[in-house]
Amino acid sequence: MSTLIKGGKILDPGNIDAMGDILVDGDRIRKIYCCGDGKPATSSSEAKPDKIIDASGKIVVPGLIDMHVHLREPGHEYKETIETGSRAAAHGGFTTICCMPNTRPVNDCREITGYILSQAKKAGLARVLPVGAVSRGLEGKQLSEFHEMKSAGAVAVTDDGRPVTNTLLMRRAMEYARGAGLLVISHCEDLDLALNGVMNEGETAARLGLSGIPNAAESIMAARDILLCELTGVPVHIAHVSAKETVDLIRAAKNRGIPVTAETAPHYFSLTDKAVEGYNTNAKMNPPLRTEQDRNAVREGLADGTIDVIATDHAPHSDMEKEVEFDQAANGVIGLETSLPLGLGLVEKGILTLSQLIEKMSKNPARILGLKTDLIQGNAADITLIDLEKTFTVDAGAFHSRSRNTPFNGWQLRGKAVLTMMSGRIVFEDL
Amino acid sequence: MQFTQKDILDMESLSRDEINLILDTAVRMKEISERPIKKVPTLRGKTVVLFFHEPSTRTKMSFDIAAKRLSADCHSISASTSSLVKGETLLDTARNLQAMNPDVIVIRHSSGGAPHMLARTMHACVINAGDGMHAHPTQSLLDMMTVREKKGDLNGKRIAIIGDIAHSRVARSNCVGFTRMGADVVLAGPPTMIPRGIESLGARVARNIDEAIRDADVIMMLRMQKERQKGFLFSTEREYARVYGLSRDRIKNIRKDALIMHPGPINRGVEISSEVADGPYSVILDQVENGVAVRMALLYLVTGGTRNVYAD
Ligand SMILES: [Zn+2]
Ligand SMILES: [Zn+2]
């Protein structure tokens, strides 16, 4: 089975930025027809595809990658399953998602890694890359079996959901991960400093009478991990950057040549802690929404390359965890089906170019994870079509995720994925 | 003026006129409490539920007396004893309560925002009797009533609130309430207990207690809880009493007409010495008395406030 994606604007930053066609054969890219870099135009008229996708007026990009999602399976299938999460990913334009290990049981061994991959394969809607636990049971006491998980298909390790509080364990995890060929992702949080906090510390918390979490709870830990990164020379990836001071620390570290990378989430560049007003539990996550100053710093960090990646930290919770008192409510919001449109909002505001956005949502995560996703002959056909003009209203009730906990319900957004192809198969289409 | 608020959730949602109406009504309610027969039929046939998720004897009793003096049927449930609440979510409790058609729910809850959640899901009027560290509007109103009674007017008065501001819903509600009425609120306490951003409630933070109380018309002391030692918020009660407590020595230079208040229950010898608590400046027991009047006024106003309460 061959498919020709015809007449779109192909945008693969660093590789192609031109009008052209892509011929897909089976699960691979057979040939790219386009004119660019002064090369003569090539014509797809020679191709005899079984199917033609009319991509005129659309942007054709390498499949989006979300390197931070929680799929809740095994253990909390009432919140999300690998299948529902994969479907949500496909609808959001993602072909690859990395799932965090804080499931029940924890993904800290090859059996669970293997189980996740087999469930993902069964669903067949997204490339699911498991992230294993740094410590067994996420308990922070003993390293989990990095090599075993790697050989079963894990791409990274983290204790996400909680920090690695023991500094020696973090150092050893980084060194051990180098041996296993895994990326270390750090959830930066000083638990003592964040104690009892349920939202950002500041005016809104003072008014609502809620315990606050200061920026320093995140940035102190980020500083530690940057120093360990310098000590060991092993790359570390800082998850969900929310605070200005963290952005500043990462920028300084990168200027010193330290191999640190970082991600932020759409809620941190779209919202501030004012979203919590009225005790809105759908605006509760960890780290918390910060101030206008922090939001601006995150946007600047994205614009100047300090923050490499946009990842959702997609964290599904049911009404049982969210329709409760604010301080009792679970942390986390879902993001797979709103991430790209919110990212396109940054393009519309002139904060990022479209090319930069695709770097943050596909090229950079691929580079950090060591994935080959360029739109070139022979690579897997993971391709997303984006319609920049399509406007829509976010309707949590219509999400494909099993959960509804979004702070963006009712928002008017412009631009979204209209077709997602994973391994040559169309997994979502709304052309 | 017609009172149109369905719920009393916090001081932020009350206008200056509404606060004045509540206080004026409370003054008339106080008169009822001074009669030999302390009961009027105003709320006959109305059901008031006291839902105390967090233990409280004083506030609960004050509401209970207020409801009964207005002839309402008053029922109370508490989280620790009631199977209605045990193991159930707040939302389910709210739905269950709603099904019994009460007219007013008075809620005390350890989580900030819980009364707001209840108010969103219920037809009944919700009165917040204290939620977490957020708000305690009935306390703030009774404090205002007490100050107004003694000083005539709140406008331009200086109110000093001293102690653990961070954990105090009374402090928050009074910052909002008193500043709305034109008073000037000054806060003081250990810097560990002054939350960042508190100025956004309209208050000013003084450098120390002496600066805060020097020209104050009202000095309001907050309860110091020993368990705050765990969060490293203070060292010992002895040191707290010496540095932040209101002692006879400390009040030597305060205004001669100053009022000393405390939301209770007091820790004698910690935030306030016995001589001061029982001394001439203290209006602590007036506060308790006015609490009943304010709560009667609120029950009356939220349920419609049209019947002639004074006819008996
Ligand atoms: Zn995390
Ligand atoms: Zn996470």
Q: What is the CATH number of the domain that holds A391?
A: 2.30.40.10
Q: How close B177 gets to chain A, by Cα (Å)?
A: 13
The alpha carbon of A11 and the centre of ligand 2 are apart by a number of angstroms equal to: 29
Clarify whether residues A44 and A167 are in a common domain.
no
Q: Which residue from B90, B169, B172 is facing A325, i.e. has the nearest CB?
A: B90
CB atoms within 10 A of CB A400: 18
Q: What is the DSSP string of A210-225?
A: --EE-THHHHHHHHHH
Q: Which residue has the tokens 């009961």?
A: B39
**One domain for residues A163 and A81:** yes
C-beta atoms of B133 and A202 within 8 A = no
Q: Could you tell me if A195 and A282 lie in one domain?
A: yes
The confidence score (pLDDT) of residue A39 equals: 56
pTM of the model: 0.94
Please indicate, yes or no, whether residues A45 and A117 belong to a single structural domain of this protein.
Answer: no
Same domain, A417 and A274: no
Contacts of A325 in chain B (CB under 8 A): 90, 109, 111-114, 117
- Please give the distance, rounded to the nearest whole angstrom, from the Cα atom of residue A333 to the centre of ligand 1: 12
CB contacts, 8 Å: B231 with chain A: 195-196
Are the beta carbons of A204 and A276 closer than 8 angstroms? yes
Reported confidence tier of residue B12, pLDDT bands at 50, 70, 90: very high
Residue ending a domain, among A369, A396, A415, is A369
Which ligand is closest to the CA of A102, given by its number?
2
Judgement on whether residues A180 and A211 belong to the same structural domain of the protein: yes
Listed as ranges, residues in chain A with pLDDT below 70 are: 36-42
A170 and A35, same structural domain? no
Q: Which of A12, A308, A313, A374 is catalytic?
A: A313
Q: Which residue has the higher pLDDT, A378 or B56?
A: A378
Residues A327 and A392 in one domain: no
Distance A311 CA to ligand 1 centre (A): 11
Which are the contacts of A77, defined by CB distance < 8 A and separation ≥ 6? none
Among the partner-chain residues A202, A206, A210, the one whose CB lies closest to the CB of B201 is: A206
If you ran DSSP here, which 8-state letter would residue A385 be given? E
**At residue B307, does pLDDT exceed 60?**
no
Quick check: A119 and A82 in contact, CB under 8 A?
yes
Output A148 or B307, whichever has higher pLDDT. A148
Does pLDDT of B311 surpass 50?
no
Beta-sheet strands, E only, within A173-302: 183-186, 199-200, 212-213, 236-238, 260-264
Check CB contact under 8 Å for A209 and B91: no
Q: Which amino acid is at A399?
A: F
Look at chain A and report how many structural domains it folds into: 2
In a shared domain, residues A399 and A319: no
Is ipTM > 0.85 here? yes
Same domain, A296 and A385: no
Residue A395's CB: how many other CB atoms inside 10 A?
13
pLDDT of residue A309: 98
Q: What pLDDT does residue B191 have?
A: 96
Quick: pLDDT tens for B66-84.
Answer: 999 999 999 998 877 666 6
Q: Please enumerate in sequence order all residues whose Cβ is within 8 A of that of A198, keeping only pairs 6 or more positions apart, or say none.
A: A210, A211, A213, A284, A288, A326, A327
Q: State which of A351, A369, A387 marks the end of a domain.
A: A369
A313 catalytic residue (yes or no): yes
The pLDDT score that the predictor gives to residue B308 is: 46
* Residue A278 contacts B, CB cutoff 8 Å: yes
Q: What is the mean pLDDT of residues B6-21?
A: 97
A325–B135: do the CB atoms touch at under 8 Å? no
**Nearest CA-CA partner of B92 in B103, B84, B101, B100:** B84
Task: Give strand pairing partners of A237.
Answer: A185, A261
The answer to whether residues A56 and A74 belong to one domain is no
Q: Which of A205, A207, A325 shows the shortest C-beta gap to B111? A: A325
Give the residue numbers spanning the domain of A355: 64-369
Q: How far apart are CA A25 and CA A1, in angstroms?
A: 6
Rounded Cα–Cα distance for residues B304 and B312 (Å): 18
| B140 has a pLDDT exceeding 50 | yes
A-proximal residues of B, 92-151, CB under 8 Å: 109, 111-114, 116-117, 131-135
Residues A24 and A159 in one domain: no
Paired residues of A288 in beta bridges: none
Cβ-contact A249, A222 below 8 angstroms: yes
